[in-house]
Amino acid sequence: MASSVPTLAPVRDGTAFGAAVKQLSGFPKAVARCVPAGPAFMEHWRAAMVGEFSVPDVMAELEAESATAVAEEAPTAVLNYSGTAAEPPAKKGKKQRTKTREAYRGLSTTARGQEMADPYETLGLIAKRWRANSDEITLAYRKKVMETHPDKNAERDEAAFVRVQESYELLMNEERRRIFDSQYDIDDSIPEPAAIKGAAFYSVMGAAFERNARWSIVQPVPLLGDASTPMDQVDACYEFWNTITSWRNFAMSAEYSENEIKSAQDRFERRAMQQANETQAKKLKAKDNERLFKLVSVAFENDPRIVRRRIAQEVERARAKQAEEDARK
């Protein structure tokens, strides 16, 4: 069966194209198929039929660019267009920023959270941290962009600009932000009963409740208050905390990182890794829920207001019992 690709016209001797072919004859031979489409075919047709070709001019321009690059910066050795060793530098620009950004993204989304940059610190939100809302994050981001953008920064610190971009993307993504907030700036301690006796209860245990209020899906969260808080509000507080639903996410504590899962040999191994991570995350979440319930239990048992009411109720029951016994006499 005859080929559908037409036969190309022969190259004329003495043309510019013939000279270009001789100039490139020292390069290793490469097998290529010229199809009747695109600029390569048009150049061949023009060289064959008209006797014009632009390769020498293009080569001269490329040689000049290569020589300029070698003179300006220290390079990584490659072969230039004349077949000798040249050292063109790595070009800065959009491609390099993209590669740097991808490398930072791989670091910032690691499942174990190791060496992860603090997005709050990057955007200047240390004082706010997890309390910062989306408007505050956006405002801080715009300010940092103006400070670190390579076009406005004399030092052209692209790494700082990339960190600002990545920090903003993380904090504006609810799931990723929760994963980060679930592992950093955490105090999971529960005060000992001896440390919350008397008036110290409101300051010590109150601070513990404030630390853990961040985990509640329902906001705002009722807090302990003080000695003057009405008992109906105290009861409402404990009722809320006994049924609290936490959004805390333990993805960073997973056994397998995202890169390890992506590198799995097949979908069966990948799914097994994912199931192992899910199982571990559920166990950690259950353990954290137990910690929250223990916190509420310790507070309830040692709350001076609850203790006073409990004593008053016992006194009232004893008085009622005594009155009943006196009535029988």
**What does the pLDDT look like over 36-64, one tens digit per residue?**
555 555 555 555 555 544 444 444 554 55
Task: pLDDT band for 183, please (50, 70, 90 cuts).
Answer: confident
pLDDT over threshold 50, residue 7: no
Task: pLDDT band for 254, please (50, 70, 90 cuts).
Answer: confident
Per-residue pLDDT, 252:
81
Kindly tell me the number of DSSP H helices and DSSP E strands found in the chain: 13, 2
Q: What mean pLDDT do residues 90-119 have?
A: 45
Q: Are strands 85-86 and 78-79 parallel, antiparallel or unpaired?
A: antiparallel
pLDDT over threshold 50, residue 111: no
Number of Cβ within a 10 Å radius of residue 43 = 17
- Distance from C-alpha of 299 to C-alpha of 213, rounded to nearest angstrom: 14
- Find how far residue 301's CA is from the centre of its chain: 41
Task: pLDDT band for 83, please (50, 70, 90 cuts).
Answer: very low
Cβ contact 235:303 at 8 Å:
no
Counting Cα atoms < 13 Å in the Cβ hemisphere of 212 gives 26
Mean pLDDT (the chain) is: 75
pTM: 0.59
- Distance from C-alpha of 231 to C-alpha of 225, rounded to nearest angstrom: 10
Angle, CA of 226, 228 and 234, to the nearest 5°: 65
Which residues make Cβ contacts (< 8 Å) with residue 245, sequence separation at least 6?
A: 216, 217, 218
Phi, psi of 63 (to 5 degrees): -60, -40
Angle between helices 38-49 and 16-23 (to 10 degrees): 120
R_g over Cα of the chain: 36
Q: What percent of the chain has pLDDT over 90?
A: 43
